[in-house]
Amino acid sequence: MPPVLVSRFTATSCIGRGLDQTFAALLDRQSGLKQCAFQGIDINTWVGEVDAVDDEEMEPDLQDFNCRNNRLAQLALRQDGFAEAVDAAASRWGRKRIGVFLGTSTAGILQTEWAFRRRDPVSGCLPADFVYAATHSPYSLSDFIRRKLRLEGPAMSVSSACSSSAKALASAKRMLDAGLIDAAVVGGVDSLCATTLYGFHSLGLLADGPCRPFSDDRKGISLGEAAAYLLLERMPDSPDGDAVLLLGVGESSDAYHMSSPHPEGLGARIAMEQALSSAGLSPASIDYINLHGTATLNNDSSEAKAVVGVFGATTPCSSTKGATGHTLGAAGALEAVICAIAIQHDLMPAGPEAGQRDTTTGIQYLMSNQRQRVSHILSNSFGFGGSNCSLVFGRST
């Protein structure tokens, strides 16, 4: 299938609002992780919280959508002229020819957590201001963004845990390939909540400090929150010279365990091989791999086995989750934007300093930022339920 043009992109996470701040943080190897002080949650862990999310105000006709996830979604949508670029695309293609496909793992479940704390002591009812469809429902995110952008084409949310927004890009590419649409707003938004913080804590998967992907003393995940969007469009006849392209997608299932990865990384390997095949590229043509790299002992070691199996030991790779935290359903889109930044700025980001790397993994983990031309990148996103997705990005020239 032909490549798809990534005509605009933006991301907001704990390392910055929009592309300039995100690029500067990657260049300086900064981390946005801090000791968890989120809404009184009592866990000794670090999180990537986005500042001032709750200062966002909803438009009067979108009040039903008022929840932290949609506030974060709205804050991010304002950055980098993204909404204006979608408007311009709508005038090119028509509002009915632009799809909205966004990934989220928990949408606005935080709103439901709070509603349960405010149940009527007598009747047990949830408060009258709780609107399930516009906050808790996985579709609430795509519905909200579709209304904000006044788009009228197909829409859905993708919710496959931590692969959600990577798989949203894959679904959108299929819709473009099939000719059902001419453009798509894709991406992912996930926000901090008690369910995921206490849930990952109960699984023993949270680190007690900033996460250290692929380090020899890694202890687990730091959760984060983020919103990231990409505008995908049918490939023009003559794209700009530095245009970023989505070249290929690969997906698989582990068929192994609900919350542990396949120990040999078999599902991950299939996803990477499919993505390369879909892009028409050999492993040797990939310049840099943005790893899933959550920093749990098992996730990193099984991903490393899969990477070595497909690429050997020489392809530079890193995880950027030490900077942003693991943003769950937003991670695929956030890291897709990081890949686009890497291509446009000739940067292979090493992520924050994290001590000695685990040399037993056998991968070429970046120990410092590399500034050199980056033509092809593969990005991995893997999730609970054994859901795997790999994306390949490139440049037009």
Partner 1 sequence: MTLLNAYLEGVGLLGPGVTNWPQGLAILAGQAPYQQQKTVLSPPASLPPAERRRASPGVMAALQVGLEACAMAGVHPADPASVFASSGGDGRICHAICSALASGDTMISPTQFHNSVHNAISGYWGIAAGAMTPSSVVSAYDGSFSAGLLEAMTLLVSEQRPVLLIACDSDYPQPLYDARPVPDTFAVALLLTATPHPGKTIAQLRFCGDDLFTDSAVQAMDDIALEALRQSIPAARCLPLLQAIARSEAGRIVLDYVNPPHLAVDVAPCS
Q: Interface residues for partner 1 in 114-143 (CB under 8 A)? A: 115-117, 119, 124-126, 130-133, 136-139, 142-143
Backbone angles phi, psi at 122, to 5 degrees: -90, -55
In the complex, least distance from residue 170 CB atom to partner 1, rounded to whole angstroms: 8
In the complex, least distance from residue 386 CB atom to partner 1, rounded to whole angstroms: 6
DSSP letter assigned to residue 149: T
36 is catalytic: no
Q: Which stretch binds partner 1 (CB under 8 A): 14-22, 109-117, 309-317, 363-371?
A: 109-117
Q: Could you tell me the two tokens for 42?
A: 């009592």
253 binds partner 1, rule: CB under 8 A? yes
Rounded distance between C-alpha atoms, residue 133 and residue 120, angstroms: 21
Q: Which stretch binds partner 1 (CB under 8 A): 4-12, 145-153, 315-323, 356-364?
A: 145-153
Q: Could you tell me the two tokens for 158?
A: 């993708």
In the complex, least distance from residue 187 CB atom to partner 1, rounded to whole angstroms: 15
In angstroms, the Cα distances linking 69 to 58, 72, 257 are 12, 5, 29
Q: Which one of 52, 61, 121, 202 is in contact with partner 1 (CB under 8 A)?
A: 202
125 is catalytic: no
Output b/e per residue, 81-118; b: 16+ Cβ within 10 A. Answer: ebbebbeebbeebebebbbbbbbbbbbbbbbbbbbeee
In the complex, least distance from residue 17 CB atom to partner 1, rounded to whole angstroms: 28
In the complex, least distance from residue 195 CB atom to partner 1, rounded to whole angstroms: 6
146 binds partner 1, rule: CB under 8 A? yes
96 binds partner 1, rule: CB under 8 A? yes
Choose among 301, 282, 302, 311: nearest CA to 359.
Answer: 301
Rounded distance between C-alpha atoms, residue 200 and residue 359, angstroms: 27
The single residue of 14, 36, 67, 162 carrying the catalytic annotation is 162
The single residue of 136, 201, 262, 292 carrying the catalytic annotation is 292
Q: Which stretch binds partner 1 (CB under 8 A): 7-15, 157-165, 211-219, 232-240?
A: 157-165
User: Chain centroid to CA 236: how far?
Assistant: 26
Q: Could you tell me the two tokens for 333?
A: 């889109």
Contact 244, 393 (CB under 8 A): yes
Q: Could you tell me the two tokens for 228?
A: 């990231």
Q: Which one of 56, 64, 87, 113 is in contact with partner 1 (CB under 8 A)?
A: 113
199 binds partner 1, rule: CB under 8 A? yes
Residue for token pair 């000791």: 35
Rounded distance between C-alpha atoms, residue 387 and residue 163, angstroms: 6
Start-to-end CA span in the chain (Å): 18
Binding to partner 1 (CB under 8 A): which residues in 13-72?
42
Q: Which stretch binds partner 1 (CB under 8 A): 30-38, 112-120, 183-191, 313-321?
A: 112-120
Sign of CA pseudo-dihedral 101, 71, 20, 326: negative
In the complex, least distance from residue 290 CB atom to partner 1, rounded to whole angstroms: 20
Our CB check for partner 1 shows the closer of 180 and 297 to be: 180
335 binds partner 1, rule: CB under 8 A? no
201 is catalytic: no
The single residue of 136, 201, 262, 326 carrying the catalytic annotation is 326
Collapsing DSSP to helix, strand or coil, 260 comes out as: coil
Contact 356, 217 (CB under 8 A): yes
Our CB check for partner 1 shows the closer of 96 and 371 to be: 96
Residues acting as catalytic residues: 162, 292, 326
